[in-house]
Amino acid sequence: MSIATSTDRTFLRMALGHPAFVIGFVLSSFFVALALISFVWTPFDPTKLSIANKLQTPSLHHWFGTDHFGRDMFSMIMVGARVSIAVAFVAVGIGMIAGVPLGLYAAARRGSFIDELIMRGNDLVFAFPSLLLAIMITAVFGPGAINAIIAIGIFNVPVFARLSRGAALSLWTRDFILAARVAGKGAARISAEHILPNIANLLIVQGTIQFSLAILAEAALAYVGLGAQPPLPSWGRMLADAQTLISLAPHMALFPGFAIIITVLGLNLMGDGLRDLFDPKLRRER
């Protein structure tokens, strides 16, 4: 027990001494906090139209100004954070829940027909640019947050399947796995009890990176009208609204853009930091 606490403390001290991780963590947490606060409080009702107040520039009253319907931009960005984070979280979750078992299974049955089938299936999904996949899904099932989640989620499956297969393959040759096999444990139990905990760090790092990619993908889908539908505010659609008004009201384009950039930047920095912290051997300036 005391050993565990002391390693935790060392990890915490190392984490706090890693500038990229700290900056990334602060930036990402800021937007998670905004999203959470938006459930109980926003400065204004983000869906309330007020044509009299339309296209106001940022002021003490409306921090980020108002849009062409007079809606408060700051409130919309708060609620938009909720949509972005929720879509990305579920999409990456789908990728992990489907991809990791597939990868572990392929590694446990390495070289078999099933392994080959899983990996070729992954290649096929990879060959589909994720955006096209999303376009196809929304063309058939209609636009909406759920279909955006499915499209982004499907693309995440091969990412996690490949990662966990590759990492698991090298673990299968290690002595402690041999010991577990000698002790009579089956492939499924070894995968769950010994392989999974050992690749968890890798999965967390990749998950952070995929999370940031998912936020960018969600914004792109919403921008072309295939993401969350009105009246729910989303960063991508706020940018689509801003496009025709860019010369008249540049603030409408700037703030949602900054929100996306800061969130993605934060997640990437955090991912890089976590990779360094989890695996000091790999540490180098990338």
Partner 1 sequence: MTAYLLRRLVSLSLSLVAASLVIFLVMEVVPGDPASFMLGINADPGALAALRLQMGLDEPLPLRYLAWVAGLLQGDFGVSYTYRVPVSELISERVMISLPLTLYALALSTLIAFPAGIIAAARRNSAADLSVMGATQLGVAIPNFWFAMILVLVFAVNLRWFSAGGFPGWDAGFGPALKALTLPAIALALPQASILARVMRSSLIDTLEEDFMRTARAKGLSRSQALWRHALRNALIPVLTIIGLQFSFLLAGGIIIENVFYLPGLGRLVFQAITQRDLIVVRSVVIILVFAVIVVTFLVDLAYAAADPRLRRQRR
167 vs 284: CA distance, rounded Å: 20
Beta carbon of residue 223, minimum distance to partner 1 (angstroms, whole number): 5
Look at residue 199 and give its three-state secondary structure.
Answer: helix
Beta carbon of residue 261, minimum distance to partner 1 (angstroms, whole number): 5
Nearer to partner 1 among residue 75 and residue 138 (C-beta): 138
Nearer to partner 1 among residue 130 and residue 210 (C-beta): 130
Over its C-alpha atoms, the chain yields an Rg (Å, rounded) of 22
Nearer to partner 1 among residue 158 and residue 256 (C-beta): 256
Nearer to partner 1 among residue 32 and residue 180 (C-beta): 32
Q: Residue 72: beta bridge partners?
A: 66
Beta carbon of residue 4, minimum distance to partner 1 (angstroms, whole number): 34
Nearer to partner 1 among residue 79 and residue 150 (C-beta): 150
CA dihedral 144, 207, 37, 20 (to 10 degrees): -130
Q: Which residues contact 48 (CB under 8 A, 6 or more apart)?
A: 71
Look at residue 247 and give its three-state secondary structure.
Answer: coil
Beta carbon of residue 205, minimum distance to partner 1 (angstroms, whole number): 16
Beta carbon of residue 126, minimum distance to partner 1 (angstroms, whole number): 9
Question: Which amino acid would we find at residue 88?
Answer: A
Question: Which amino acid would we find at residue 62?
Answer: H
Look at residue 96 and give its three-state secondary structure.
Answer: helix
Look at residue 48 and give its three-state secondary structure.
Answer: coil
Q: Which chain residues interact with partner 1 by CB under 8 A?
A: 120, 123-124, 127-132, 135-140, 212, 216, 219-220, 223-225, 239, 242-243, 246-247, 250, 253, 256-257, 260-262, 264-265, 268-269, 285-286
Beta carbon of residue 150, minimum distance to partner 1 (angstroms, whole number): 12
Let me know: does 115 contact 256? Beta carbons within 8 Å. Answer: no
Q: Which residues contact 130 (CB under 8 A, 6 or more apart)?
A: 151, 152, 155, 217
Beta carbon of residue 9, minimum distance to partner 1 (angstroms, whole number): 29
Q: Which of 76, 52, 38, 57 is closest to 228 using CA atoms?
A: 76
Beta carbon of residue 281, minimum distance to partner 1 (angstroms, whole number): 15
Question: Which amino acid would we find at residue 195?
Answer: I
Question: Which amino acid would we find at residue 153?
Answer: G
Nearer to partner 1 among residue 73 and residue 190 (C-beta): 73
Nearer to partner 1 among residue 92 and residue 137 (C-beta): 137
Nearer to partner 1 among residue 139 and residue 178 (C-beta): 139
Q: Which of 51, 56, 76 is closest to 66 using CA atoms?
A: 56
